[in-house]
Amino acid sequence: MFWDEEIEGLSCDEMTHIQGEKLRKQVKHAYERIEFYRKRFDAIGVNPGEIKTVEDISSLPFTTKSDLRNNYPYGFCAVPHSDIIRVHASSGTTGKPTPVFHTKKDLENWINCMARNCYIAGIRQDDVCQIAFRYALFTGAFGHHLGAERIGATVIPMSSGQTERQLMMMQDFKTTVLHCTPSYAITIAEKMIDMGIDKRSLSLRLGIHGAEPMTEELRGEIEEGLGILSIGDYGLTELGGPGVSIECPEQAGYHINEDYFFPEIVDPETLKPLPDGEIGELVFTTLQKEALALIRYRTRDITHLERGRCACGRTLIRHKPIKGRTDDMLIIGGVNFFPSQLESVLLGFEEVEPHYVIRLTKKGRLDHVSVDIETTPAFWSKSSQDARAGLTRKMEMRAKDLLGFRIEISVVEPSSIPRSEGKAKRVIDNR
Ligand code: DLL
C-alpha cells in the first residue's frame, strides 16, 4: 500500500527519533562544510555538538533566500564541486537564479522522494504520465519525470506549451496522468473545448499540480474541466524542487517527506515557533543533504501543520494548502490579504472562468485594486450590459464582505487574458 513501508506509517515518536539522528549529522555537516553556517553558529555561540534532538532546533539560526543570493553561486555547496552531478535553479526571470546542487546520493534521494510522492498521489506501473512542466533549469519536470519513471510508469516528457500537441499525445498514447501547474491544466482544459475534444474520450484520470497555489475553487475547475482527480504537489528549488510534500487522494493536506525535510511553523514577524495548527511561515531543515544542507530555511509560504493518521493510513505530518507567500501578501488600506482569498470569492460565481488579473494602482495617495475576469463564453454571448453590470456588482459586494474595502471588478470577453503554460502571473502591481 505504501512506497516506503517503514517510513510512511511510523508513529510520531519513532519519526522524531529518526529525525533527531539525522538532524545531528546534518547540522555537523553544515557546520563543518559551509563557512556561512560556521560563522553564524559561532556568532551566536551555538556548538553543533549541542544539537541532540529535534527540540534543540530552535537554538539554530534561520537561513533566507538573501543568504543564498549573497553566497551565489557556490557559497552553500558543502561538497567538492567534482562531486556535483546536477545543478537546477529557481525559475525567476530577473536577477541571479537560486541554484540547487545534487551529488549522486542527493539525486537518488530526490528520486526516492518523488517516487514516494507519485505513489502517494496514486500513480502505478501501468500509468502513462505526461510531464507538462517545463524541462529546464526549473526542477518541476525533471522531478516528476524521475519519480514516475522509478515507479515503472510510462513517461512522456512533453514539457510545457504546444497545447494542441499535448492533447494529440494524450489521445494517441492514452495518457492517464497529467503533471503540470494548475494554471496550465486550466489552459489545457480550455483548449480541449476549442478543439471539440470530449473529456470522456481521453484516458486521463489524475492530475498532479504544483509550483503555484491552487485554491479549492480552482481545483474544482480543473477536476470538472478535465474529468480527473487533481492532487496538489509542493516544493521549492532550494530544497531540490518538488518532492517535499504531496496530497494523497483524500485531499486532506500535503504529506511531508519528513524523514528528508524537518518542518516548523514560525511567526514571520517574531520568528518564534508556533504550535501545530497555528498559521505561520513554513520553515524547513534538510535532514539528508550532502551538497546543499539548509538549516531552518524560511520558505515565505504561509500554512499550518496537522499531525495524526490520515484516512490513507499514512502518519507523515501534513501541511495545509499554501495560503500565499509573505512576499505576495497584499496590504491595501491597512488590510492584509492574499490573492488566493480573492480568487476563492471570484471563482465562486459560475458565470466566470478562472482567467483573471489583479491590478494594483494608486489613486491619489490611496491604493486601488481592480480585477479583470473573463466570463464563460455562454454568459458573454447571451448577457446584456445590465446583466454584466449586475454580476460585477454581486462580485464586488462579496469581495467587500471578505476584505472590508471596495475592489473594482470588470468582466471581460472570453480569451482576452493571456494564458499560462507555467506559473501564472495574476497580480500586476503598478503602484
Ligand atoms: O515551484 C518546485 C515545484 C515544481 C513544486 C513542480 C511543485 C511542482 P520554485 O520555482 O522554487 O520551485 O518555487 C517555489 O512556489 O515556495 C511556493 O511559494 C510555490 N509553490 C510550489 N508548490 C506550490 C503549491 C517549484 N503546491 C515556490 N501550492 C514555493 C502553493 C506552491 N504554492
Tens digits of per-residue pLDDT, 157-200? 999 999 999 999 999 999 999 999 999 999 999 999 999 999 99
- What are the residue ranges spanned by the domains of the chain? 81-327, 338-429
Q: What is the pLDDT of residue 93?
A: 64
Measured in residues, the chain has a length of: 431
Task: Measure the CA–CA gap between 116 and 118, rounded to whole angstroms.
Answer: 6
Residue whose entry in the numeric block shows the C-alpha cell 490611496? 366
Q: How far is the CA of 299 from the centre of ligand 1 (A)?
A: 10
Q: What is the pLDDT of residue 411?
A: 97
Burial of 157 (0-12, 13-18, 19+ CB in 10 A): middle
Q: What is the pLDDT of residue 189?
A: 97
Nearest residue to 192 via CA among 102, 200, 265, 397: 200
**Which DSSP state fits 63?**
B
Q: What is the pLDDT of residue 69?
A: 92
Q: How far is the CA of 211 from the centre of ligand 1 (A)?
A: 3
pLDDT in tens, 317-372: 999 999 999 988 888 878 888 999 999 999 999 999 999 999 999 988 888 999 99
Looking at the DSSP bridge assignments, the partners of residue 207 are 178, 230
Q: How far is the CA of 212 from the centre of ligand 1 (A)?
A: 5
Q: Which atom of ligand 1 is nearest to the CA of 254?
A: 26
Name the superfamily (CATH) of residues 81-327: ANL, N-terminal domain (3.40.50.12780)
What residues contact residue 29 under an 8 Å CB cut-off, 6+ apart? 78, 290, 293
Positions in the chain short of pLDDT 70 = 91-93
Q: What is the pLDDT of residue 331?
A: 86
Looking at the DSSP bridge assignments, the partners of residue 273 are 266
Instruction: Among 3.30.300.30, 3.10.105.10, 3.30.70.141, 3.40.50.720, name the CATH number for the domain at 338-429.
Output: 3.30.300.30
Nearest residue to 62 via CA among 269, 318, 319: 269
Ligand 1 site residues (CB inside 6 A) read: 90-91, 133, 139-140, 210-213, 232-237, 241-242, 299, 301, 322, 325
Q: What is the pLDDT of residue 139?
A: 97
Total H helices, total E strands in the chain: 12, 21
Q: Which of 91, 114, 184, 236 to mutate to test the pocket of ligand 1 (most atoms within 8 A of CB)?
A: 236
Q: Which atom of ligand 1 is nearest to the CA of 328?
A: 18
Instruction: Identify the helix (H) or strand (E) that includes residue 131.
Output: strand 128-131
Residue 140, all three cell numbers: 518541476
Q: What is the pLDDT of residue 92?
A: 67
Q: How far is the CA of 364 from the centre of ligand 1 (A)?
A: 36
Q: How far is the CA of 130 from the centre of ligand 1 (A)?
A: 19
Q: Which of 90, 234, 256 to mutate to test the pocket of ligand 1 (most atoms within 8 A of CB)?
A: 234
Residue at 86: amino acid letter: R
